[in-house]
Amino acid sequence: MDPNLEQMADYLIEKWVHQLTKSIQLTRSTFLMMKTFWMEQTPCWIQRKVRAATLTMKMMEQEYQLLNPQDRVQQACQPGKKQMDYNSVIP
């Protein structure tokens, strides 16, 4: 493979991963704001679901941070591979 093409591909992958990471951070921030707003007004069973979703999101974020850039792109290209199961993580 041409070294210039490989370098360009690496650059584009890094740029894309950076955008995905920013998107995840914004999504998490929005999720936490919603959680804080609704926690005072919701029944306990919904609060448990929200806590489970928060825990699942944190676990997925930790797994994502451990991936190298190419694996992050590969995972992003496989939608539906990992489905969140809130019931499996309810405290």
Average pLDDT, the chain: 70
Compute the distance between CA of residue 63 and CA of residue 57 in angstroms, rounded to an integer.
Answer: 10
Indicate whether 20 pLDDT > 60: yes
Confidence of residue 27 (pLDDT cuts 50, 70, 90): confident
Comparing 82 with 79, the larger pLDDT belongs to 79
Average pLDDT over residues 13-29: 72
Counting beta carbons within 10 angstroms of the beta carbon of residue 21, is it exposed (0 to 12), middle (13 to 18) or buried (19 or more)? middle
Span 47-62, pLDDT tens digits: 677 778 878 888 888 8
Binned at pLDDT 50, 70 and 90, residue 11 comes out as confident
Residue 90, phi then psi, degrees to nearest 5: -65, 125
